[in-house]
Amino acid sequence: LSTTVLRLRLVAQRPVRYRAGQHVVLWTSGGIARPYSLASLPDEDRFLEFHVDCAHPGEFADAARQFKVSDPVRLGELRGGALRYDPDWQEQPLWLMAAGTGLAPLFGVLREALRQDHQGPIRLVHVARDDSEFYLRAQLQALAAEHANLTLEWVLRSELADYLLQLRVVARQTHALVCGHPDTVEAFAKRLFLAGLSRNQLLADAFLTRS
């Protein structure tokens, strides 16, 4: 998907019941296990999709670079995590804030919200190291062209501090979902609280810093 993000699509031998925002432990044939968030959407995609950050060396990422079609990958425990879409939010503002491959589960949540005909404004923010890492940009722009209530923002990590300073929560009913590197998740969370967002209206999932 970019110079450092690998898209991994798996076809399960048996149906897997899951919802947007969940993650699952993946096992290589060599016994390396890591949890990864699902970027696919149940009942829409015939595969399970994961986005693997290969920017830094890591046992799973190194193994994933060598995967070939038909290689086996075992699925471990499916976990809920904090991220989800609630139909009760349909009329309310929804903010999706991702850092790096934190976009993966939020891409699924976004598609679920649109599938359920979310009526409130949706704001998706993606933070990345450089311009080349704003992956899924074309797909997101296509969705925004179809849905007038979807707004997209791309923020370089070097500009995040300035971006956060101007962040304002206009509607008190806003729900924010934040995902990615722990430092960025914490920065978003702190700023959202200072901007007036209630703690029970923020759902955050910080990724492990290893791959």
What string of DSSP letters covers 25-89?
EEE-TTS-EEEEE--S-TTT-SSEEEEEE-SS--HHHHHHTT--TT---EEEEEE--S----GGG
CATH topology of domain 5-79: Elongation Factor Tu (Ef-tu); domain 3 (2.40.30)
pLDDT digits (tens, 9 = 90+) for 17-32: 999 999 999 999 999 9
Report yes or no: 94 and 118 within 8 Å, Cβ to Cβ. yes
pLDDT (0 to 100) of residue 211: 45
Question: What average pLDDT does the segment 135-145 reach?
Answer: 98
Sequence spans of domains, the chain: 5-79, 87-206
Question: What average pLDDT does the segment 70-80 reach?
Answer: 92
pLDDT (0 to 100) of residue 179: 97
pLDDT digits (tens, 9 = 90+) for 88-112: 999 999 999 999 999 999 999 999 9
pLDDT digits (tens, 9 = 90+) for 176-190: 999 999 999 999 999
Provide the mean pLDDT of the chain: 94
pLDDT digits (tens, 9 = 90+) for 34-61: 999 999 999 999 999 999 999 888 999 9
Query: Hey, which CATH number is domain 87-206, 3.30.70.1380, 3.30.565.10, 3.40.50.80, 1.20.910.10?
Result: 3.40.50.80
pLDDT (0 to 100) of residue 209: 59
What whole-number percentage of the chain has pLDDT above 90? 88
